[in-house]
Structure 1
């Protein structure tokens, strides 16, 4: 398959008259720019105005999409916080069945694709029945996430989550959490069962390991999880809430980021999620590791987590990507806009991450495409030979992009428009979004509607 683009963002910058050839596996086989336009258009299967690399959504809890909008009322406590929201989430979990989880995941993945993401990195921690009893197939719910990805066609990096305790004091898991729980021995078997589905998925699919957090995993099990991951993706929540930082410091003698960096060789295969509660010294130290900071600005805003120190982190060479986390909204452009605006509000500035060579939009977009690919363990994020053909197209006919060139295209997409500019998306060469709509939209939406009708009645 050949795609001709009037303009495309390549690793070396913006190029005109670009011809991309995709092989049968879904990788970019050849790439040329400044080609003879008339001849290239005649031989191309698709002719598009603006071609960009499509990023990976590096952090998602798919099932939470179905409870979006259900947690915006005040509870009995004087202050509504992340911790009160979490209790609502646990109650919602109690009514979810395997079919529900699969249907919700397919819907979420469809929305990700329509927003411009080509890969779903699923931080999957719901493993068992509501009372904590394992399913007959230990990795049943991991396989449901894989089945959903076959329906949606999205690239998948599955991260089965190790979750042992209700806190640093190793208290037993409570209601809701009990669906997550495994000791390391059983988790290793679950991970093996999840890995067994990979031959039945597209070849760009991958698996990693996710010790949930320093609160939920013991120190010995964390070392075992790191060993199990090897050089593959290793993701963990880190330093999201003030209460979490205080609990870890009291139990383990150091703040979460300080403790982790002192006790583990954090490297490029690591992705630390949120990191909204870090000191300047911790920010600098994490940036130096080459790991990814996995940011979820919409969810972090929704839950009142705090503001990641992005300006300092990027100035120290830190790498980052974005994810939709709670999936209260799934919007690539809004994640980037929310991140940038959080920096401006905190520092009372404008164009906080821009450089003299690259605009704000360009800096953010290139950071999250590279960072998302690294976090997913996926050779993507760049339009170059050998990479997976994870590609998105923006609507060159939109009034918002009329006469717009270069970096200003990304600035308009992120700050002046929204994901409605996304017309087409390929994931590893699979053409899944056409004219702004997923190719299986009707069937996926219909199943989701049926599930949500029942869940709202039960909840």
Structure 2
């Protein structure tokens, strides 16, 4: 049994001092007062959240799309074209190496798990591999190497738009019809079953632009009682396209046609009316927010104050992985609300500080979205634990909610992360992933290969 001694810990009873956390078989087996005089393992113990939305391969593009293109109206859609051009080069070995590095960086950033929205399925030109689930297996191998908890979300991607135009260019690596996707998903399910005990599988119909009604129905059937993730209402042009084809906005149409419930996670939702915001909050589904990527791509601002005010569930993801930082994701959401409304402490409540509201939302919403039995330090729960050292110039030995506020808004919370356990796997020690040297060496070699073709 592992025993973690924390000077302070965030438990279901709130903040507690001098806590011993017992971990065995990947779960928390006891939570009790630490023995008198016991040497602390960590200064602060928190439940470690799940990163609910990632496209791992895009990590290799970080820094490549920040110059303005020939169109002065550079936008999400020009970024998207560059992304398609980039991914045509990637081999299975390179994809696995990039994913392992991404998952390492997530662990070092404080995430214990990830929901990988995996839509890169085929070889260049859209030619299926002999093993349809080849690249799903590469993602699983990368997660196993990094030791992160994985919820794999194979993505159904049928069309290039609501007019059902064929996939073109880099998109062809994503494409499946529902029948082929069913076989691919089954292969991925078998591979997940052979992985770590805490690995899970869900399903992800990409978006209303990329799947038809039959494909969406098939995806929901495949998802069963597991997680169902989908991009929804990210861009104005997306909303306009859906409105033109089905005479309803994306959120409006989805809620009218499907029983959206807590199994669902709708990604981005940066283009919703107040009525849609209220309706989605009442479903119990998670709104999957990726504030850094949404800022990078100019998506828009989520109706956070309204949604959380209605007790809507949210969680956080790193999406394009342009910058992987748990605390910066939370801060970026809060700052977007302040800038929009010219306010301060926008998401705080009378009994919880801004940082506490954000962190509580991240751990609860992430666990729900990933189908992961975590999100709280409690007996019987998966041992996803984030350990921090606050005895330094960044943490200033703060306690309680003020410690969270300092980590999130002080700008240096990442420096305070000392340890991360994922389902009891102690993968980060003294701020560094235990396999950093080898994983990063392989990643750097992979990037050198790719640079030759960019």
Length-normalised TM-score, structure 2: 0.98
For the pair 1:449 / 2:454, whether they are aligned, the reply is: no
For 1:330 and 1:403, the matched residues in 2 are separated by 25
Q: Is the 2:119–2:154 Cα contact (8 Å) retained in structure 1?
A: yes
Q: Deviations over 1:414-434 (max 9, x none)?
A: 000231111100000000000
Matched residue, 1:223? 217
1:73 to 61, 67, 70: 67
Please say if 1:341 is aligned against 2:335. yes
Tell me the residue number matched to 2:366.
Answer: 372
Q: Does 1:262 align with 2:263?
A: no
How far did 1:225 drift? 0.8
Gaps of 5+ in 1: none
Q: Which range moves more in the overlay, 12-21 or 98-107?
A: 12-21
Q: Which residue of 1 aligns with 2:394?
A: 400
Map of 1:178 onto structure 2: 172
Structure 2: tracts of 5 or more residues without a match: none
Alpha-carbon distance between aligned partners in 1 of 2:250 and 2:396, rounded to the nearest angstrom: 48
Offset, 1:403: 3.6
Write the distance in 1 (CA, Å) between the matches of 2:326 and 2:289.
12
TM-superposed CA distance for 1:232, in Å, is: 0.1
Q: Return the match for 1:233 from 227, 239, 255.
A: 227
* Helix, strand or coil at the partner of 2:124: coil
Alignment match of 2:185 (pick from 183, 191, 201): 191
Partners of 1:49 and 1:73 in 2: CA distance: 42
2:282 aligned partner: 288
CA distance in 2, matches of 1:141, 1:158: 11
Say which of 121, 124, 128 aligns to 1:130. 124
Can you list the C-alpha shifts for 1:205-261, whole angstroms capped at 9, x where unaligned? 000000000000001110111111011000000000000000001101100000000
**Alignment of structure 1 residues 379-390 onto 2, 5 Å:** 379-390=373-384
Partner residue, 2:27: 27
For residues 113 and 318 of structure 2, the distance between their equivalents in structure 1, rounded to whole angstroms, comes to 12
1:273 aligned to which of 258, 267, 275:
267
**Alignment correspondent of 1:108:** 102
1:429 paired residue number: 424
Q: How many residues align?
A: 452
SS of equivalent to 1:198: helix
Tell me by how many angstroms 1:65 deviates. 0.3
1:3 aligned residue? 4
- Which of 138, 159, 170 in structure 2 is aligned with 1:165? 159
- For residue 419 of structure 1, the aligned residue among 404, 414, 418 is 414
Q: Is the 8 A contact 2:147 2:422 kept in 1?
A: yes
Secondary structure in 2 aligned to 1:19? strand
2: distance between equivalents of 1:334 and 1:312? Answer: 21
Instruction: Tell me how far 1:397 sits from its aligned partner.
Output: 1.7
Distance 2:159 2:247 in 1: 18
Asked if 1 retains the 8 angstrom alpha-carbon contact of 2:394 and 2:415, the reply is: no
Residue 56 of structure 2: aligned partner:
62
Measure, in 2, the Cα distance between the counterparts of 1:36 and 1:176: 58
Report the RMSD for the aligned CA atoms in angstroms.
0.9
